[in-house]
Chains A and B, each alone.
Chain A
Amino acid sequence: MKHELFPWLILFLPLLSAAVITLFTLRNKTVSSLISIGAVVTGFALTCLFLSTNTFHPTVTETTVNWLAIGNLSIDFGLKLDALSLMMMLIVTGVGGAIHVYSYGYMHDDRSMARFFASMSLFTFSMLGIVLANNFVMMFIFWELVGVSSYLLIGFWFEKPSAGDAAKKAFITNRLGDFGFLLGILMVWSLLGSLNFGVLNGIVTANPAALGCGATLAGLLVFCGAMGKSAQFPLHVWLPDAMEGPTPVSALIHAATMVAAGVYMLCRTLFLYDHAALQVIAYIGGFTALLAALMAVQQNDIKRIIAYSTLSQLGYMVMAVGLSGPTTAMFHLTTHSFFKALLFLSAGSVIIGMHHEQDIWQMGNLRKKMPLTFLTFFIGALALCGVPPFSGFYSKDAILALALEEKNYLLFGVAVFVAALTTFYTFRLFFVVFFGQEKSKEAAHAHESPLVITLPLVALAVLSVVGGFIGVTNYYGYQFGATHASLTVLEQLTHPFHDVFPMLCGLGAVVIGLFLAFTFYKNAATDPLPAKLGALSRWMANRFYFDELYEATVIRFHDLLATASDWFDRWIIEGVYIGLIRGGTDLSGRALRLVQTGNLQTYAFLFVFGVALLLYFVLVK
């Protein structure tokens, strides 16, 4: 294999950058940001170079270093190179690179810009680690590192209590999922005796019953990890709150890469899941997609709407994995990372133009003031809704077709309904922000963002347009055993027309959603829906009261437990044990102190007395 050092270099460059920024250049904003951008862009260039000499199928697919060996357990630090990980590397470094450049413009006036870029580099390192990991332990370590860097970035503006709370919420919710993930890893290890993906795959392929009756449980426990990271119901609550972080963070972590890690992990470990586990995964994905789309309809914060849309699209991906369509899931992941990063960054550009006003009912008529942002947002919205020939159309259509192929009509119906909702809320946002009347002073004085911000937007917009037919499915197809030969660009353009029914359903959903959004929001100054929907709208706006529900049950229970532990600690541990033992020592200390008279002759007498006693025992007894 040529350039076999490259993957190591790509992985460790961002870590180096994070270390250098933290240790040396924390005071210099420009140098720090350039180091960080340089690391990720070099990573992208090296990935491209590596691919150009190796294609997506390098002859050596794993390069490992033994990390530790305890008895039978041997853990490697190894990089797995195949179509799946190499495509993900392209996404992480490519989309990540665009977002890094954008951040330079977005964060330019922030005091702690260097800290921001250090955290971004740390995140890129961790994400690449997940992508390249060749065994469960390494993946888990990077999984947690991603959690930490996400915590640092969500809480970047920690002076705001809401940002600190959101960071904690994200981290703790993720930890809940990771707990299941860790149990799943331990279970897989105890049942199969290995942690290496390749070896595990071999064992399970050779003997599908190797996992025995624990197969479903092990699969679902591992899925818990994905549930946390990819924010699936019931652990979805952290993602909307994570929008407290800076917008580039939302684009990089909470749209393009980190939340995709769960889906990526599911695809990487697909061999583990038996039929029952996959069913559960599919229904959880479908339910999340529906729930999040409904919530998105009545949100008013521009970033939160996109966040719920992310949740909903992640639901689609998880559903696709559950319907045993990893190629489709990864295809949607890829296109989604393009257009969702684009939407977030465009929203960021709007937020800058509006001087950090995020309420869409304060905006309006921005297409005149911010033409380029308007155009890129429009492209992102079309791709998200699945309008041909934008990238989202192909991947969403593939998911719809997959659901129909698997004869899962319930999930097919849900997916079509969610597609209609997606179009509705996206264009609700679109019309309210870019059309109608200016609804505030800021909107009237909005201005287009500088080139460093709009340039990444254009790059991502191009990808969002062409992402559907440049061969993404071919590469994932190699990985998961494609059912057909690789397609040319033209074939990919027309490929969906093979399955006319799901495509028509998808397009119909888009048209209905668009029509409804147009009628309600074309020139709306306030939201007409609450009056029409009544209680339902209130439930949507309040996210179906999930936060309140968790507050009342999980958090209340936790508080009770904490109070009980506190009581136990205070009275049993401190009172009885510490009190008695410390008090006893104190008392005997006081008693023994009396012996210390300070008189030389008393000491001498006691000394002689002791010697006499010893002699008595030694000689007489």
Chain B
Amino acid sequence: MHIGLQHYLAVSMILFCLGLLGVILRRNLVVIYMSLELMLNAANLALVSFSRFNNKLDGQVLVFFIITVAAAEVAVGLALIVALYRKRQSAHVEDLTSMKL
């Protein structure tokens, strides 16, 4: 079977939906965070495959950006989660409803 662009995009799509479900359904902040990373990587996969099949490097450049930004984001995000846990003794989203009016 020839493996083409559609297959890559399908995998990327499946990964993205899994990540999305994780974000919406899981309760633990750390797991939500991991799901977010999954969604980012799904996007990365799509970009890389476009780059490969179109013979252009633009997509790969964008991927590098995303990896860099994601790394920075993880650093900040994890720090926030740790700080939050220290304050509230909990990392569950149900306990974090202070945004409600």
A residues adjacent to B (C-beta < 8 A): 593, 596-601, 604-605, 608
Mark B82-101 against chain A: 1 for CB-CB distance below 8 A, else 0: 00000000000110111111
Inter-chain contact A599/B94, CB cutoff 8 Å: yes
**Chain A residue, CB-CB nearest to B23:** A604
Inter-chain contact A599/B93, CB cutoff 8 Å: yes
Inter-chain contact B20/A593, CB cutoff 8 Å: no
Inter-chain contact B97/A599, CB cutoff 8 Å: yes
The yes or no answer to B3 lying at the interface (CB within 8 A) is: no
**Chain A residue, CB-CB nearest to B27:** A601
CB pairs A–B below 8 angstroms (14 shown): A596-B100, A596-B101, A597-B97, A597-B100, A598-B97, A598-B99, A598-B101, A599-B93, A599-B100, A600-B32, A600-B99, A601-B23, A604-B23, A608-B24
Smallest beta-carbon distance B19→chain A, Å: 11
Extra pairs beyond A596-B99, A596-B100, A598-B101 (12, CB < 8 Å): A597-B97, A597-B100, A598-B98, A599-B93, A599-B94, A599-B97, A600-B32, A600-B93, A601-B23, A601-B25, A604-B23, A605-B24
Measured between beta carbons, the chain B residues less than 8 angstroms from A608 are 20, 24
Measured between beta carbons, the chain A residues less than 8 angstroms from B97 are 597-599
Measured between beta carbons, the chain A residues less than 8 angstroms from B24 are 601, 604-605, 608
Smallest beta-carbon distance A609→chain B, Å: 10
B residues adjacent to A (C-beta < 8 A): 20, 23-25, 32, 93-94, 96-101
Inter-chain contact A600/B96, CB cutoff 8 Å: yes
Interface majority SS (helix, strand, loop, mixed), chain A: helix
Measured between beta carbons, the chain A residues less than 8 angstroms from B98 are 598
Measured between beta carbons, the chain B residues less than 8 angstroms from A604 are 23-24
Closest 10 interchain pairs by CB?
A598-B100, A598-B97, A598-B99, A600-B93, A605-B24, A596-B101, A604-B23, A601-B24, A604-B24, A601-B93
- Tell me the complex Cα distance, A600–B24, Å: 9
Measured between beta carbons, the chain B residues less than 8 angstroms from A600 are 32, 93, 96, 99
- Tell me the complex Cα distance, A600–B94, Å: 8
Measured between beta carbons, the chain B residues less than 8 angstroms from A605 are 24
Smallest beta-carbon distance B18→chain A, Å: 13
**Chain B residue, CB-CB nearest to A593:** B101
Smallest beta-carbon distance A611→chain B, Å: 10
- Tell me the complex Cα distance, A60–B57, Å: 85
- Tell me the complex Cα distance, A593–B100, Å: 9
- Tell me the complex Cα distance, A599–B24, Å: 11
**Chain B residue, CB-CB nearest to A598:** B100
- Tell me the complex Cα distance, A596–B98, Å: 11
